[in-house]
Amino acid sequence: MRTMQLDVHDDDRTRRAYEALAASRVFGRPWFEPSSFTEVAIDWRHEDKAEPKEIWVAEDGGDVAGVATLFLPMEDNTSMAWFDLHVHPEHRRRGHGSALMDRMAERAQDAGRACLLTEIMVPVDEPDHGYRRFIERHGYSLNNTEVMRHLDLPVADDHLSRLDSDTRPRWEGDYRLETHVNGVPEPLRESLCEVMNQLIVDAPTGDIEFEPESVNPARYQEYLDVEREMGRQRLTTVAMNDTGEVVAYTDLVLPVGAPSTVWQWGTYVHREHRGRRLGMAVKLENLGRLQVDHPQRQRVITGNDGTNSWMVSINEALGFRIVELCPAYQRKLA
C-alpha cells in the first residue's frame, strides 16, 4: 500500500481514480448520480491559481483504492486548507483512508496552513456512523452540520404562483430580476462578484470565521470557461436595484453526468437589502426557468446549515425535504 500524487494527464490512472471516487460517493446513496469522468478530469486538470489543488491516490496492488483532493486557497482564507477523501467501498477498512488522511495533514502543514477542513455525507439517523468515527479518530472535531435537502421536480405551477404572489409585493417596484444562462453579462459581473464573495462570511459556519472570498470578473470568467468545457449549464437569477447593481443572486448548476440532478449553489442577499423577500424571489424565478427549459431534471439538491433558519424556511416553503446530513469537521495543525 502506498500514496502518491496523481498525474492528472495519465488518462488510465485518472480514470481509475475517478472510478474509486464515483463508487464511494454512490455507496449507500442510491439516488446519487456522480459527475461524469469528463467533468471530473477537466476539474482536476484545471489549474486554478487562486485555489491550487493536489490529487493524491492510495494504491493497492496497482489498483487505485482511494483518492483525496487537497485545496490550498492562495488569495483569501490562506491559513486554511480543505480536502475531500474517498476510498472505494471494496477497499475500505484496510488503512487507505488513514494513509490519505495523514498525507493531507502533512501537505497542509508543509504549505503553512493552520486549519484543515473536510465534510462527510451521513444518514440523518446514525450519530455514530463509521465515517464520523473515522474522522474523529483522526483528531477532527465537528464544526457545524449542513442539512441536505432534495426538491422533487416539477414543483406544481400553482404552488410557485402562490409563493410568488405572497412575496412579489414586498420587492416589486424597487428591484428588477433577470435570469442568465452560463454567466451574467459583463456589466453585472463586478457587483455579482462582490455579493458572491460575501456568502462565505454571512452563511452560518459554526466556530470558523471565514474571510470574504476574492472572486473577480476574470476568475468568474475562468470558472465559466471550465463549466462550458465540461458541458455544464449554470442558471443565474440576479436581483438589481435602480442603479443596476446586483444585490441578490442564486445559481443552479446542471451537471452532465447526473442527468436527473440539479445542484443549488449559492444564494445571497446583500445585507442592506434583506427583509424584502429577495431570496425567495430569485429562487422562484430561477426554478421557473429551470422547469421550462429542462423538464428532464428530476431533483434539486441543496445544503444549509441547521441554524440558517432564513434559508431553510425558504427551502421548506418551496417543498424541499431532508435526505441526509453533511457534517463539517476541522482540525487545528501545529
Binding residues vs ligand COA (CB under 6 A): 24, 66, 85-87, 92-98, 118, 120, 130-131, 133-135, 137
Residues, the chain, total?
334
Q: How far is the CB of 88 from ligand COA (least distance, A)?
A: 8
- Element holding 322 (H helix, E strand): strand 321-332
Q: What angle do CA 31, 32, 35 make, to 5 degrees?
A: 145
Long-range contacts of 225-232 (CB under 8 A, 24+ apart): 226/42, 226/43, 226/46, 227/182, 227/253, 228/182, 229/42, 230/38, 230/39, 230/42, 230/43, 230/256, 231/38, 231/39, 231/256, 232/39, 232/256
Q: How far is the CB of 83 from ligand COA (least distance, A)?
A: 7
Coil, strand or helix at 307: coil
Joined together, the cell numbers standing for residue 165 give: 404572489
Distance, in Å, from the CA atom of 202 to the CA atom of 268, rounded to the nearest integer, reads 9
Q: Which of residues 76 and 84 has its CB atom nearest to ligand COA in the complex?
A: 84
Q: What is the 3-state secondary structure (H, E, C) of 217-271?
A: HHHHHHHHHHHHHHCCEEEEEEEECCCCCEEEEEEEEECCCCCCEEEEEEEEECH
- With both helix axes pointing from N to C terminus, report the angle between 217-230 and 37-45 in degrees, rounded to the nearest 10: 150
CB 94 within 8 A of CB 1: yes
Joined together, the cell numbers standing for residue 110 give: 508543509
Distance, in Å, from the CA atom of 57 to the CA atom of 68, rounded to the nearest integer, reads 6
Q: How far is the CB of 259 from ligand COA (least distance, A)?
A: 23
The DSSP line for 270-293 is -GGGTTSSHHHHHHHHHHHHHHHH
Q: How far is the CB of 138 from ligand COA (least distance, A)?
A: 8
Q: What phi and psi values does residue 184 have, to the nearest 5 degrees?
A: -85, 160
Q: How far is the CB of 89 from ligand COA (least distance, A)?
A: 8
Q: How far is the CB of 210 from ligand COA (least distance, A)?
A: 19
Q: How far is the CB of 133 from ligand COA (least distance, A)?
A: 4
Q: How far is the CB of 125 from ligand COA (least distance, A)?
A: 15
For 6, residues 6+ apart whose C-beta sits below 8 A from its C-beta are: 13, 14, 17, 44, 55, 56, 57, 67
Q: How far is the CB of 287 from ligand COA (least distance, A)?
A: 30
Q: Which of residues 24 and 236 has its CB atom nearest to ligand COA in the complex?
A: 24
Q: Which amino acid is at 78?
A: T
Q: Which of residues 71 and 220 has its CB atom nearest to ligand COA in the complex?
A: 71
Q: Which amino acid is at 173?
A: G
